[in-house]
A and B are shown apart, each in its own frame.
Chain A
């Protein structure tokens, strides 16, 4: 494993009294790696993504480090290094995709690159000037994925990115995730084993808000991960 880009030490996150979603969750992501999070519903995948995105204020940790320096998920310095594609996102309904893209790039203080290849890859050409609220769930997801891959943040978090996508776009997404190492690190959560085994260098198996098992590149195959998931959850 290369040098660590993101280190999370003993993260605890909760929603209400006694409703602990993550408990002593620790994880280290290497520079330019693709890591997958897999677990049953309620295992804590989305909570972890939300915490790192600065959307969950109820958390405590012994340290979140970006390249060895402590950071806060709500501070600008960390925000500018990461972008998250959420599992469900109905935000900015009254912007078109182009306007949203321009808004995001302005927020990250970057110039918009040529996105024609991404638009073509996701078969999104006909929808760039339609308000996001008027797009279908899958097309809205594509809008956020294109933004993410165009932005090329150092840390890219994808929460259930495959949900809602058609077959062709899913294949294209796998390519983009696998090729993201050129730009940075990807952490993505999924219920679909195939999407993890096809793209990831490492897989973290989550159960009850903790990482129970990690599979490295050489050890990774769907049967082992499936067995781990079944074993951890007594299925």
Chain B
């Protein structure tokens, strides 16, 4: 089991676990930086549990869904492996990766800015472990994954109702044990999801269109599409929150927030072969980057339009011009980042989605929004 775990862990963390060291070092800096500011906020324990659980389960799910896992696993699956050891090692490695590269960052931020009791730290650990095991167990249901919905709803309800007391711990521990027992019986092959290959013709087009390519990409990656839809939902409710800040010119802030649409801004980084091919062909700065920029602009503009439709006060021509400016500016910056600084050496899709680079464009747009206010 130790060898199997090591094989998976080295794949994710690097040969000398350098990713783990980097992550812990980064967290120490974040903790120290926040701690010396002495900035404290009140966060109820159940909110912390909920945040840690949802982030961990979400990232773990995304990591389990990564298509590259199949390539990493196929040789191991070919060997006469012990099923239980294999499943536990795989889940443990992916879980460790999720906790030590993603959850830990949220945890240290929460640790630095709010007051904790020792029991709450223990509770957070139980929540995190339960989230890992539950995500793996529900993933193993495959096409019957929806069976896991009542389970997840029960856990969330439990955290909401008993999250401020120690009574939350027994149900979480029971849930974890249940997930562990289920995983013990799970077939290892379930985690090796093969790419679906549909050998059917698509509608004939004699000529290419980059936008068609990009729409097909989104169509085949439902999670990318879902994230874009979520951003548009955020655009719908954002005016409600920002509308309360009447004294400020908050509309540009809304546009800046809506530019955090990570998936459509990583379409080169997420496909290294495609990136290589685009760089290899001549004239791609114009042939690929301009349509890609327009594609991001359209996605941003739809979000901005929804935001403006939900705006309760009157919409001026200046607001519309600002919406176009922000959508276009963030699209240009996103494409420039993708072209000149693509994300490389990522291990799972979740690395791409949670890469700090995603905050650069919104941060610049927020600065522009602040400049407009001044």
List chain A positions with a Cβ less than 8 A from chain B. 53-55, 76, 79-80, 84, 89-96, 98-100, 102-104, 106-109, 129-131, 133-134
Offer 24 A-B interface pairs, CB within 8 angstroms, sorted by A. A54-B280, A76-B282, A76-B283, A79-B282, A89-B273, A89-B277, A91-B271, A91-B274, A92-B274, A93-B271, A93-B274, A95-B213, A98-B206, A99-B205, A99-B212, A103-B281, A106-B287, A107-B284, A109-B283, A129-B202, A129-B204, A131-B202, A133-B195, A133-B197
Task: Decide: A54 and B202 in contact? CB cutoff 8 A.
Answer: no
Q: State whether the Cβ of B216 lies closer than 8 Å to any Cβ in chain A.
A: yes
Cβ–Cβ < 8 Å partners of B287 in chain A? 103, 106-107
Task: Decide: A96 and B284 in contact? CB cutoff 8 A.
Answer: no
Cβ–Cβ < 8 Å partners of B279 in chain A? 54-55
Closest A residue, CB atoms, query B213:
A94
**B194-219 to A contact mask, C-beta < 8 Å, 1/0:** 01011111101111110011101100
Cβ–Cβ < 8 Å partners of A133 in chain B? 195, 197, 220
* Contact among A90, A92, A130 for B213, CB-based, below 8 A: A92
Task: Decide: B208 and A99 in contact? CB cutoff 8 A.
Answer: yes
Cβ–Cβ < 8 Å partners of A106 in chain B? 208, 287
Cβ–Cβ < 8 Å partners of A104 in chain B? 281
Query: CA A153 – CA B206 in complex, angstroms?
Result: 22
Cβ–Cβ < 8 Å partners of A54 in chain B? 279-280
Q: State whether the Cβ of B276 lies closer than 8 Å to any Cβ in chain A.
A: yes
Closest B residue, CB atoms, query A103:
B208
Cβ–Cβ < 8 Å partners of A91 in chain B? 271, 273-274, 276-278
Query: CA A229 – CA B112 in complex, angstroms?
Result: 63
Task: Decide: A130 and B280 in contact? CB cutoff 8 A.
Answer: no
* Contact among B197, B206, B278, B280 for A102, CB-based, below 8 A: B206
Give the shortest distance, in Å, between B291 (CB) and chain A (any CB). 11
Cβ–Cβ < 8 Å partners of B281 in chain A? 79, 103-104, 107-108
**Given contact pairs A54-B280, A76-B283, A91-B276, A98 touches B198 in the complex (Cβ within 8 A):** no
Task: Decide: B216 and A107 in contact? CB cutoff 8 A.
Answer: no
Task: Decide: A134 and B213 in contact? CB cutoff 8 A.
Answer: no
Query: CA A46 – CA B280 in complex, angstroms?
Result: 15
Give the shortest distance, in Å, between B349 (CB) and chain A (any CB). 15
Give the shortest distance, in Å, between A187 (CB) and chain B (any CB). 16
Closest A residue, CB atoms, query B282:
A79
The 7 closest A-B pairs by CB, nearest first: A91-B277, A79-B282, A103-B208, A94-B216, A90-B273, A99-B208, A129-B201
Interface residues of B in 165-194 (CB under 8 A from A): none
Give the shortest distance, in Å, between A54 (CB) and chain B (any CB). 6
Query: CA A22 – CA B216 in complex, angstroms?
Result: 39
Task: Decide: A134 and B197 in contact? CB cutoff 8 A.
Answer: yes
Closest A residue, CB atoms, query B278:
A91
Query: CA A106 – CA B198 in complex, angstroms?
Result: 28
Task: Decide: A55 and B204 in contact? CB cutoff 8 A.
Answer: no
Task: Decide: A108 and B276 in contact? CB cutoff 8 A.
Answer: no
Closest B residue, CB atoms, query A78:
B282
A sample of 13 more A-B contacts (CB under 8 A), given A91-B271, A95-B208, A108-B281, is A53-B280, A79-B280, A89-B273, A91-B273, A91-B274, A92-B277, A99-B205, A99-B212, A102-B206, A107-B287, A130-B202, A133-B197, A134-B200
Query: CA A109 – CA B198 in complex, angstroms?
Result: 32
**Given contact pairs A55-B276, A96-B205, A134 touches B198 in the complex (Cβ within 8 A):** yes
Query: CA A79 – CA B278 in complex, angstroms?
Result: 12
Query: CA A107 – CA B281 in complex, angstroms?
Result: 7
Closest A residue, CB atoms, query B286:
A107
Query: CA A130 – CA B277 in complex, angstroms?
Result: 19
* Contact among A80, A84, A90, A99 for B280, CB-based, below 8 A: A84
Task: Decide: B273 and A102 in contact? CB cutoff 8 A.
Answer: no
Query: CA A83 – CA B15 in complex, angstroms?
Result: 36
Closest A residue, CB atoms, query B218:
A94
Interface residues of B in 267-323 (CB under 8 A from A): 271, 273-274, 276-284, 287
Task: Decide: B282 and A94 in contact? CB cutoff 8 A.
Answer: no
**Given contact pairs A95-B208, A98-B205, A102-B207, A80 touches B273 in the complex (Cβ within 8 A):** no
Of A84, A91, A104, A109, most buried by chain B (CB within 10 Å of CB) is A91
Closest A residue, CB atoms, query B205:
A99
Query: CA A103 – CA B220 in complex, angstroms?
Result: 21
Give the shortest distance, in Å, between A136 (CB) and chain B (any CB). 8
Give the shortest distance, in Å, between A142 (CB) and chain B (any CB). 15
Query: CA A108 – CA B284 in complex, angstroms?
Result: 10
* Contact among A80, A99, A102, A129 for B282, CB-based, below 8 A: A80
Cβ–Cβ < 8 Å partners of A102 in chain B? 206-208
Cβ–Cβ < 8 Å partners of A94 in chain B? 213-214, 216-217, 220
Task: Decide: A134 and B199 in contact? CB cutoff 8 A.
Answer: yes
Query: CA A92 – CA B287 in complex, angstroms?
Result: 14
Query: CA A102 – CA B207 in complex, angstroms?
Result: 5
Cβ–Cβ < 8 Å partners of B206 in chain A? 98, 102
Give the shortest distance, in Å, between A47 (CB) and chain B (any CB). 14
Give the shortest distance, in Å, between B223 (CB) and chain A (any CB). 16
